[in-house]
Amino acid sequence: MVTNARPTRAEYYKALADNLPAQALVVTSLGNASYLWAALHHTPENFYFEDAMGLTLPLALGLAVAQPKRRVIAMEGDGALLMHLGSLVTIGAVNPSNLTILLIQNGVHGASGGQALTNATLDLAALARASGISHAENLSQPDSLGERMSSKLRRDGVDVLVLATEPDLEVVRPPVSLDPVGTKQRFMAAIGAPRYVPTLFGGGMLAQT
């Protein structure tokens, strides 16, 4: 039987989990982008965003620059990308070779109820290339993602993979509480980041080890 149905987010995530590079850091957007990944591959090296739509890419860029020996993978949605499009331009300018961006293109704002995007068919790979990211392409099958993630080929610059998916509006229940403070502390310990010590009138500092 011939079908035009697109793969699900879960199918792409399974392909990623099966081919995840060693010591990879994964940053996920809010909603099912985080919930489903936590259900499939919960580790301290995951940073789950909650209630911060569009900020996945800025954090992933900072991590890629600060952790150049580790692969950083950002999972972002098409709607969230369009909210903070300037982040894509900045990533194109910095262009770290250890950053891979996976854009879920399902044509809706899934985390806020499934509202349709103003331009659901926008070519996001072409948009990335116009932002200075030469390695950007559209994928339509999870197997293609698995092959790209398992490849030993070292690219010069950021890799953007746009994943065509069906909307998944039914909320996935994560296996653990995705408390933002707990997520931050667990992730900082995983990458060996010193704790920031605030002061009452500013001028805080990193904790001395």
Q: What is the CATH number of the domain that holds 186?
A: 3.40.50.970
More reliable by pLDDT, 110 or 39: 39
Q: What is the percent of the chain with per-residue pLDDT over 70, rounded to a whole number? A: 86
30 occurs within a structural domain: yes
- pLDDT score recorded for residue 1: 38
Instruction: Quote the pLDDT of residue 61.
Output: 97
- First vs last C-alpha separation in the chain: 62
* Per-residue model confidence as pLDDT tens digits over 163-176: 998 887 777 788 88
Q: What pLDDT, in 10s, does the model give residues 36-56?
A: 999 999 999 999 988 778 889
**Over the stretch 61-93, which tens digit does the pLDDT of each residue have?**
999 999 999 999 999 988 888 888 899 999 999
Lowest mean pLDDT of 130-144, 150-164, 166-180, name the range.
166-180
- Confidence band, pLDDT 50/70/90 cuts, at residue 113: low
pLDDT in tens, 192-207: 988 777 676 766 667 7
Average model confidence (pLDDT) across the chain: 86
Asked if residue 40 belongs to a domain, the reply is yes
* 1 part of a folded domain: no
> Would you state the pLDDT for residue 68?
94
Band of pLDDT at residue 116, cut at 50, 70 and 90: low
Number of domains in the chain: 1
The domain of 131 spans: 9-206
Phi-psi region of 203 (alpha: psi -120 to 50; beta: other; left: phi over 0): left
Percent of the chain whose predicted confidence (pLDDT) is above 90: 50
Q: Does a structural domain hold residue 163?
A: yes
Q: Tens digit of pLDDT for each residue in 2-13?
A: 445 789 989 999
CA distance linking residue 60 with residue 133, whole number of Å: 15
Backbone dihedral region for residue 132 (phi beyond 0: left; psi -120 to 50: alpha; all else: beta): left
Contact 13, 92 (CB under 8 A): no
Instruction: Flag whether 86 is in a domain.
Output: yes
Question: Does pTM top 0.75 for this prediction?
Answer: yes
Q: How many CB atoms lie within 10 A of CB 188?
A: 15
Decide if 92 is inside a domain: yes
- Supply 30's token pair: 């809010």
Residue 2 lies in a domain: no
Residue 2 is predicted with a pLDDT of 41
- Per the domain annotation, does 53 fall within a domain? yes
Alpha carbon separation from 85 to 105, 124, 127, 129, 131 (Å, rounded): 15, 11, 10, 13, 10
